[in-house]
Structure 1
Amino acid sequence: MDYELDHIGIAVRSIEEALPFYLDVLKGSLEDRYTSDVPGVEVHVAVVQTNGQTIELLEPTNRNSPIARFIRQKGKGVHHVAYRVDDLDKAILDAGEKGIRFLEDTLRTNARGRRLIYLNPASTEGTLFELCSYPQD
């Protein structure tokens, strides 16, 4: 199973305030914007590409969303690191056999067709990781 860095999710209070840094300073390009109103997600997303690398800016849409809670607890900044896998179900099984736990309620398909799940940070020395796969994979 190959694990390829897919994107880094960054929690921000305001995408509009954060974008100038990513577009003007880092010379990125805004590739996509969308909102997820799925319960337990509730986030605005801006996808920025910089030299082939992807950053997702994550702005909470309500004060009880996971991103809003993250910002209250830890402040703005890196929320998660996502790795693309060829077969998400197999990656979950393989990691589970190695004792890795998942945040089971996060298994879903997002608004852009990406299947994903988050690993329990207790299994990763405190870092939130996402495993994901895409329909064309």
Structure 2
Amino acid sequence: MRKPCLFYTNILGMTVEHAEHIEREDVHAVFLAGGGLRIELLEPTSQSSAVFRYIQKKGEGIHHIALETKEINGQLDRLSASKVRLIDKRAKKGAYNSQIAFIHPEAANGVLFELCQHT
């Protein structure tokens, strides 16, 4: 992750906001901020990581787009009632002390969306 992170900090001028190891997902996450945006870089820490398998299959690049929400479980209920295919029916603990849930890529023309609620 060091080389891509340097691109974002040295070339794009973003700052590292937070970094943590997410053991249950087998990834290391770095959050960068700049220009009104927050970007999360993920690096798999084992070959059993879903991120590792994704990179092996599709290569490096954008994995998903995260959308911030204030009522994540309410959003999940609304999406479910609208028959939107979800990966997560309820929010789970995510990085940076957040609650997260994923919308299945088949519901969004192949794009994986993550809903995030920060505390």
State the TM-score, normalizing by the size of structure 1.
0.82
Closer/same/farther in 2, CA of residues 34 and 105 from structure 1, 3 Å limit: farther
Report the Cα offset of residue 104 of structure 1. 2.5
- Classify 1:106/1:97 alpha carbon distance in 2 versus 1 (closer, same or farther; 3 Å): closer
Query: Which residue is 1:27 aligned to?
Result: 13
Using CA pairs under 8 Å that are at least 6 residues apart, name the structure with larger relative contact order, 1 or 2.
1
**Counterpart residue type for residue 25 of structure 1:** I
Higher helix share: 2
Instruction: Give the counterpart letter for 1:24 in structure 2.
Output: N
Q: CA deviation at 1:107?
A: 3.7
Counterpart contact for 1:118–1:128, Cα < 8 Å: yes
Write the deviation string for residues 29-56 of structure 1: whole angstroms up to 9, x where unpaired: 1111110001xx1100111111121110
Of stretches 101-110 and 26-35 in structure 1, the one that deviates more from structure 2 is 101-110
C-alpha deviation, 1:106, in angstroms: 8.1
Q: Which runs of 4+ in 1 moved over 4 A?
A: none
Task: Please report the RMSD computed on the Cα atoms of aligned residues, expressed in angstroms.
Answer: 1.4
What SS does the aligned partner of 2:63 have? strand
Q: In 1, are the aligned partners of 2:76 and 2:90 still within 8 Å (CA)?
A: no
Matched, 1:37 2:23: yes
**1:133 paired residue number:** 117
Unaligned runs of 5+ in 2: none
- Name 1:69's counterpart in structure 2: 53
In the alignment, the residues of structure 2 paired with residue 106 and residue 122 of structure 1 have an alpha-carbon distance, to the nearest angstrom, of 18
SS of the equivalent of 2:43 reads strand
Aligned with residue 33 of structure 2, among 49, 62, 85? 49
